[in-house]
Structure 1
Amino acid sequence: MKHNNKYHPVAHAVKYAIATTFALGIASGAAVAQEESDTASKEQNIEKIAVVGSRSAPRSIGDSPVPVDIIGGDELAKSGSSDMLNMITTAVPSLNVHSNPISDAATLIRPANLRGLSADSTLILTNGKRRHKASVIAFLGGGINDGAQGADISVIPGIALKQVEILRDGAAAQYGSDAIAGVINFVLKDAADGGSFEVKHGEYYEGDGTSTEYAANIGMPLTDDGFVNISAQYKNSDATSRSVQRADALGFIAAGNNFIAPITQVWGSPEIKDDITIFVNSGLDLGNGGEAYMFGNYSERDVTGGFYYRNPHNRPGVFSNDGGETLLVAQLDPNIACPTVNITSGNVLDQADYALIADPNTAVGQNCFAFNELFPGGFTPTFGGNVTDTALAIGTKGEFKDGWFKDIMYDFSGSVGRNESTYKMTNTVNASLGPESPTEFNPGKYIQLEKTFSADFVKFVPAGLYEDLTVAFGAQWTEESFEVVAGDVASFAVGPYVDQGFSIGSNGFPGFKPEDAGVYTRRNYAAYVDMEAEVSEALLLGLALRYEDYDTFGDTTNYKLTGQYRLNDDWALRASTSSGFRAPTVGQSNVSNVQTNLESGVLVDSALLPPTNPISLQLGGQELTPEESTSYAFGMVYSYNSFFVTLDYYNIEVTDRISQSSKINLTDADRDALRAAGVRNIDSIQQVSFFTNDFDTTTQGIDLVANYAMDILNGRGTFSLAYNWNETEVDRISTPPEGRPAITGPDKVSRLENDLPNHRATLSWNQSWDDWSFFARANYYGEYQGVHVDWVGSPAEPGTEVNAAAKVTFDAEVSYYVTDNFVLAAGAQNLFDAEPEKLQLTQAGVANNEFGGKYYETSPMGINGGYYYVRASYKF
């Protein structure tokens, strides 16, 4: 292999600029790790190297032909949040995460959006190896993420990380499915000695959401030639509430109902209990150029969130089936009729005819039952579950020393990842069981299991170029399975009172029936070649080709071309173009579920069915095919002394995007046709949705990053600006079958195009002295579409949309170095407690806060407000 040790002024300038960059807010191109006690002179010896994006020798991010962000592990510690999603979104403006209150499984595992695309359009790696997806599918994903099934990033603790590499460019030709928007690679610590211990405690200004976290890391030798690095984190977080009392609940209180909860419907973050994570990373030198490695994790947490309030006068299937005109009364004895209770007042409990039902001392009361007796103030189910995540990767890498494969570097690896979500419902009923219904249910579980085996090779070939031609090639085999485990019988049972109009299953989230249970499996294999050449001192070119074959939908071939040209010592241009794909997940193709959603102000149960289910086919569903993408990007890099700036434009066209369809009401004609086809239980289904390749989009944007370091105020200061402009436009919606409604309606189009702000930016300043350091960041969130649960805004209904105003928040932290090893810190996120957009009347004068919320769910800054924290860290 040829080595070139010439002094390169551009590379030196880039490395110097990168080395002096330090701040959590450094995003989109040049975030640099440093030990918190490092001096400015030590900073200049630090060079940030990215592994992701190239199979050649690792490159500095200034020399990369595609944009790469690097966030150091110590930078992640400068965040008050203990959630990995929050840590990296504050660092990368093109990455967005919504709070997702009252969003079914999306509350348990929040999806993230890179460059405005869905969560499963970003590939997640750990130590360069593909990480498994979560078992949670975001059935209520806020428009952009409806139906998304991405990896669970939140299980990764900051203390375990050496750095995070974010490739903001399509990379399916290099890494396979899911890399349409980019790649995030979590690199684990690999030190063989030393360690740290940290305690963090924080609370929101409102006095809730109290969080306490304990984290530790230790590096140990593995014989004289290896290491074992272990990280652990344990935390608990209380729930938050940014709610007001619902209007209907206020009416009940005014009418004398004394059983109404102080807040009947809570909008806020869920409670997280006993969140424990253990990560292990290890390596061993085998001699003769070989190395063995192994890494993995065990993570588990319990999450409990809120749900929609069940109005005791009009909740269908429980309290009334005619919109609150009459009470739904169960006839317990078929030989004794029950009276009709007309709801004629604001509190049916005080009506004389209801007293007959509720009084067990009368013949009528003994043989009739209304759920108002069990829940006189209505009820709000709690939805939660246990999420368990495990992974293990084992491999060996090195260089062949002789034979046919001499001088070829190899990496053989195998990995397995498993994510299990076990759901739990409390404070609810299976109404069809009548007075015998329990109030706690285990609706079942989802299990995602993935196995991957890879063989990767790299050869440096003399080709008469400035540097040897890098030729990488390899193969990969993957098996993915999605398992549905049935819930307890009471959660799905068809009780004796279903014929009297009472609903089936645990209200809010009916259990998975035995016929829904099963294991669904898919296998695929891939082969790739990836070449990179430094044609001259100024020109770098790359080409990647990848072929994948799936045993379900067939095969696909994708390409990527990259290049960088150095104009002079200070300037460089870079560009890329690629095709990509995202395979539909096994879960998206096979899952069934019942969701509760709002329809014309009333909660309605809606069935999500596989796209090939007879009911889905009747409504226009068909077997899922892969999403396909074409992207191109170009940009520039400028560096001079301590100044470093990058500017990149990107354009991503995605065809046949997979999402959850709109909720489609079944007609009598639909039911008749389905009965004739032998489909059972049609009468209990009101609405149906399914996953579909239903639309095409074009996403374009600009990333700007600027960093500057200087001596100031008798210390070292680093200033960083990161800005992202992102815009998505829906190009095509599938034409529905004749006489059928559109599968993707104008409301979803509006959400895809407008929910995320088009503009986001961060401006940060990090200042360090001998014993103190100070960090400050301003966060800008542009205008966005305000959406709440009863939102009806769409281009088809002008005047109902709300354009939420842009907001600016500030974060700050002060650290004091008690000793070289012991650091105390105090800080705040959203320091001045800037409020997100409050719910208001729409342009058409429609009220938007009838359901207890205070802020729009789509707020990019979250809804919880200011958060303060203290932290103590000890390094050894």
Structure 2
Amino acid sequence: MKLQLNKVSRALTYALASTATMGIMSTSAIAAEGDEATDKKIEKIAVVGSRAAPRSVGDSPVPIDIIGGEELSKGGGDDMLELLKGSVPSLNVHQNPISDAASLVRPANLRGLPADSTLILLNGKRRHRSSVIAFLGGGINDGAQGPDISTIPSIALKQVEVLRDGAAAQYGSDAIAGVINFVLKDASEGGSFSVKKGQYFEGDGDATTYEGNVGLPFSDDGFANLSFQYKEADPTSRSVQRPDAAAFASAGLEGVRDPAQVWGAPEINDDISLFANVGLDLSNNDQFYMFGNYSERDVRGGFYYRNPTTRPGVYGGVIRNVNGTPSRRDPNDVEQQKLWDAAMPTILVGSLDGYDQQLNCPVVEIGSNGLPDQAALDSLTAANCFAFNQVLPAGFTPFFGGNITDTSFTVGTKGEIDEGYFEGAYFDLSGSVGRNESRYFITNTVNASLGPDSPQDFSPGKYIQLEKNFNADISKGYDFDLAYEVNVAAGLEWHEESFEVVSGDEASFLPGPLTQQGFGIGSNGFPGFQPSAAGVFTRRNYGAYIDIETPFTDEFLMGWALRYEDYDSFGSTTNYKVTAQYQATDDLSLRGSISTGFRAPTVGQANVSNVQTNLSSGVLVDSALLPPTNPIAVQLGGSELQPEESQSYTFGAVYQSGDLFLTVDYYNIEVTDRISQSEKIELTQADKTALKAAGVPNVDGLAQVSFFTNDFDTTTQGVDVVANYSMDLLDGYSTFAFAYNWNETTVDKFSAITGDFKVKRLEEDLPKHRSSFTWSSQWETVSSFVRANYFGEYQGVHVDFDQTAKIADASVTIDAEVTYFATESVSISVGANNLFDQEPEKLDFVGATGIPNNNWGGKYYETSPYGINGGFYYVKATYTF
């Protein structure tokens, strides 16, 4: 490409100056000298955002953050989401205790949009989604299905590029909030091995991580870069004993766990990730490349405590009629519900002889001490009757978890065409396949309808996400007598996505003999997937794009992109993007973009069905998620899902003078027909009749229904400020980095399907203001960094959110690390995240009553943007070769 010298000089200047637009300069780059230092700093050039030659972050018409691999290695955690959150203030990540599968694969939010509104790339290629759909995703992520970023270890990465701008016209579906590109290391020699151990200040959550990387030659003209990470982490608990469980223990009931219900991080076992990146020069102009991964982990967390007197379908569910005879409880009868809440007179008892004999069973009343009458319980066996208080008298808390397996493989060739009409053009041909499997398990629970024959451990089934991509890209510079060559890029993409539901073991979904007596069906807490819901659901689409960059003058550059996509489900969509950059002075440039975008509904969102347990009016009930085209979902307002559509624009400025680098960018993103999970809709008897007619099994135990829907529109706007400054200080070299994000989302249109409180969560759960300030220093044998993280006010939400939601105070946390280089090869690091153990907002009241709120065992609002576990300290030893 015929670049003018001043253009090249300006790109290299910005590249050298912009160490890492969000975060700290890598220690190795600071310590290096001469050509090695220059090379490492030039690597701070992004591939995303442009189809032309890679450009520096300051020379880009759209905002891009570059985070070096060395920077990602600094920090106590090893979860990629947590590492990125510390460097990119517009990225929010929540821990999700007691959230079904969302606690296994945590969703992340860039610019306040759900996890599947950010496109994830690996070495510039689309990354496959996780098989986990966040059914309980904490408001913003309800129903989101994004890639599992946590499988990517920091030691495998050369850098991470975060494009903070809509880019669907360039890259296709999902790039509404932006694009994150993970770039794997490509060295052919050297490597490192490290061991890290850490623990929370509370004394729990012990974590051990082993990781390594090695670069090897692949013949004389290639490389093979291999990485691994293995880690284990103990669970944490930020819980207090529930009042009901404490009362049972005080009354003499044996076997009550303390705490009965745990809020905290899950246990992680055998978490291993293997990554490989291979390249080989086939000629002077062509290269073969291949990369992929295998990752697997076991995760185990907890659910809600099942109170041994009130849990519908297991212990509770019966009230007394006016004439004094027991009657099956209908949890959907409002008047009956009031009576039950006021009296709770009896334990659910079933006849082992069948439903006709149920009323002949003894009535087990609850005494003044809150416990079932023991004499009545003892008489059940002789009457051939049964209550779960006989086998699980202290109640129970299910443990939910899963085995997550993630694999991918990409192969391709790229290079320069050296003859014919396209001589001088660059091409890239590739194919990839990615697969993510989540196999669930739930223990310490029952299938209540099976009565005394119920097992207590179940395998409810699994989800499998499989994606295949084929890409053909070409770009070429053309001389139109402008400042330099006009780059014209075009490409084709074919994509196939399938979502498979594999049914669980029979006991996890089987309706047992006590079904008609009011006992719940399926493994309580997470019923198994039935054969009728199992199957493979597939969708294919293809896309074509053209992308042009036009340098009208040395100072003024514009880009144009147009993309057409056609799906075999909902049809086609066309999107565009226009970018511009103007170099006003040697130090100041102005930039902006305007674009449209889209996010196609996932195959899983369109077809999945599931049963989940949630809290409703103080009672745990079962809720069914149905496909939006299911007859009952249609009756309640559902319809075939359509793509979300977006319109966005940004404008900003880049200022660079000496060692100071500063960017300021405003963004505005309007999204229409957003896809999310509907509110839980209470089922009437008429609805249940319609469900049965539609072939939905086991309807009687369901209290609510939800489905995915295009129901609301939002506008998200904000400002990003990034500043870096480097200087000699205290006989060493220091870099100062400041990053600030203001982000605000407004729900412009919604219906009752979305609900008022979900709107409130979308608008207020995330802090509107976030910032970080980092000071990184390097001396001859010691390096250090200190980072202050500011989190603005946010909405604190707990499980009984309708009573306890409140605006939580702003907070500051401090992260710090010191590294001592004992030799050229060995270093020791000591550090802490949340050094001063800043506590999140405590649960301390219900509304304006001032009544302590620990009815569900929590200590903190789980929407805390920096988690609920507190400070974490660690020690790390690294050997470099």
The TM-score, its normalising length taken from structure 2, stands at 0.95
Which SS does the other structure have where 2:801 is aligned?
Answer: coil
My pick for the range that moved more, 44-53 or 113-122, is 44-53
Identical-pair percentage: 64
Task: Say which of 280, 289, 292 aligns to 2:288.
Answer: 292
Task: Say which of 618, 639, 648 aligns to 2:635.
Answer: 618
Deviation at 1:682, TM superposition (A): 3.5
Aligned to 1:711: 728
Distance 1:202 1:757 in 2: 28
Task: Say which of 551, 568, 589 aligns to 1:551.
Answer: 568
Task: Say which of 837, 848, 858 aligns to 2:841.
Answer: 837
Aligned to 2:687: 670
Distance 1:675 1:571 in 2: 67
Deviation at 1:500, TM superposition (A): 1.2
Task: Say which of 793, 816, 819 aligns to 2:823.
Answer: 819
Distance 1:157 1:825 in 2: 18
Q: Is the contact between residue 16 and residue 642 of structure 1 (CA under 8 Å) also seen in structure 2?
A: no
Distance 1:195 1:674 in 2: 59
Distance 1:97 1:445 in 2: 25
Deviation at 1:675, TM superposition (A): 5.1
Distance 1:677 1:135 in 2: 27
Aligned to 2:333: none
Q: How does 1:59-74 map to 2 (within 5 A)?
A: 59-74=55-70
Task: Say which of 322, 331, 334 aligns to 2:351.
Answer: 331
Aligned to 1:754: 764
Aligned to 2:126: 130
Q: Is the contact between residue 364 and residue 373 of structure 2 (CA under 8 Å) also seen in structure 1?
A: no
- Residues 817, 635 of structure 1: CA spacing in aligned structure 2 closer, same or farther, 3 A cutoff? same
Which SS does the other structure have where 2:379 is aligned?
Answer: helix
Q: Is the contact between residue 533 and residue 541 of structure 1 (CA under 8 Å) also seen in structure 2?
A: yes
Letter of the 2:864 counterpart: S
- Residues 313, 13 of structure 1: CA spacing in aligned structure 2 closer, same or farther, 3 A cutoff? same
Q: Is the contact between residue 511 and residue 698 of structure 2 (CA under 8 Å) also seen in structure 1?
A: no
- Residues 817, 307 of structure 1: CA spacing in aligned structure 2 closer, same or farther, 3 A cutoff? same
Task: Say which of 351, 367, 382 aligns to 2:374.
Answer: 351
My pick for the range that moved more, 532-541 or 851-860, is 532-541
Task: Say which of 458, 468, 474 aligns to 1:457.
Answer: 474
Kindly provide the CA deviation profile for residues 696-715 of structure 1, in whole angstroms up to 9, marking residues without a partner as x: 00000000011110000000
Deviation at 1:628, TM superposition (A): 0.2
Aligned to 1:796: none
Which SS does the other structure have where 1:467 is aligned?
Answer: coil
Aligned to 2:327: none
Kindly provide the CA deviation profile for residues 9-64 of structure 1, in whole angstroms up to 9, marking residues without a partner as x: 7545533422xx36xxx51xx76445277247665662211001111000010000
- Residues 40, 802 of structure 1: CA spacing in aligned structure 2 closer, same or farther, 3 A cutoff? farther
Deviation at 1:354, TM superposition (A): 2.3
Q: Is the contact between residue 652 and residue 699 of structure 1 (CA under 8 Å) also seen in structure 2?
A: yes
Aligned to 2:497: 480
- Residues 842, 328 of structure 1: CA spacing in aligned structure 2 closer, same or farther, 3 A cutoff? closer
Q: Is the contact between residue 424 and residue 441 of structure 1 (CA under 8 Å) also seen in structure 2?
A: yes
Distance 2:605 2:16 in 1: 47
Q: Is the contact between residue 566 and residue 573 of structure 1 (CA under 8 Å) also seen in structure 2?
A: yes
Kindly provide the CA deviation profile for residues 391-444 of structure 1, in whole angstroms up to 9, marking residues without a partner as x: 000000111111232222110000000000000000000000000000000000
Aligned to 1:91: 87
Aligned to 1:726: 743
Distance 1:538 1:15 in 2: 18
Q: Is the contact between residue 213 and residue 225 of structure 2 (CA under 8 Å) also seen in structure 1?
A: yes
Distance 1:606 1:679 in 2: 13
Q: How does 1:40-51 map to 2 (within 5 A)?
A: 43=37, 46-47=41-42, 48-51=44-47
Distance 2:756 2:444 in 1: 36
Q: Is the contact between residue 257 and residue 349 of structure 1 (CA under 8 Å) also seen in structure 2?
A: no
My pick for the range that moved more, 346-355 or 438-447, is 346-355
Q: Is the contact between residue 9 and residue 569 of structure 1 (CA under 8 Å) also seen in structure 2?
A: no
Task: Say which of 856, 860, 870 aligns to 2:865.
Answer: 860
- Residues 556, 373 of structure 1: CA spacing in aligned structure 2 closer, same or farther, 3 A cutoff? same
Deviation at 1:345, TM superposition (A): 2.9
- Residues 677, 131 of structure 1: CA spacing in aligned structure 2 closer, same or farther, 3 A cutoff? closer
Task: Say which of 231, 241, 262 aligns to 1:266.
Answer: 262
Distance 1:31 1:463 in 2: 41
Letter of the 2:778 counterpart: S
Distance 2:495 2:743 in 1: 33
Aligned to 1:35: 28
Which SS does the other structure have where 1:792 is aligned?
Answer: helix
Aligned to 1:874: 879
Distance 2:194 2:362 in 1: 65
My pick for the range that moved more, 535-544 or 128-137, is 535-544
Q: Is the contact between residue 24 and residue 737 of structure 2 (CA under 8 Å) also seen in structure 1?
A: no
Aligned to 1:802: 806
Q: How does 1:271-670 map to 2 (within 5 A)?
A: 271-322=267-318, 323=340, 324-334=344-354, 337-349=360-372, 351-357=374-380, 363-364=382-383, 367-670=384-687
1:777 partnered with 2:787: yes
Q: Is the contact between residue 93 and residue 865 of structure 2 (CA under 8 Å) also seen in structure 1?
A: yes
Q: CA RMSD in A?
A: 1.6
Which SS does the other structure have where 1:434 is aligned?
Answer: helix
Distance 2:635 2:624 in 1: 14
Distance 2:254 2:372 in 1: 10
Deviation at 1:492, TM superposition (A): 0.2
Distance 2:286 2:627 in 1: 47
Distance 1:773 1:263 in 2: 42
Distance 1:841 1:828 in 2: 31
- Residues 563, 32 of structure 1: CA spacing in aligned structure 2 closer, same or farther, 3 A cutoff? farther
Distance 2:38 2:283 in 1: 33
Runs of at least 5 residues in structure 1 that lack an aligned partner in the other structure: 735-741, 794-799
Letter of the 1:180 counterpart: I
Letter of the 1:344 counterpart: G
Which SS does the other structure have where 1:753 is aligned?
Answer: helix
Q: Is the contact between residue 118 and residue 144 of structure 1 (CA under 8 Å) also seen in structure 2?
A: yes
Distance 2:563 2:29 in 1: 42
The TM-score, its normalising length taken from structure 1, stands at 0.95
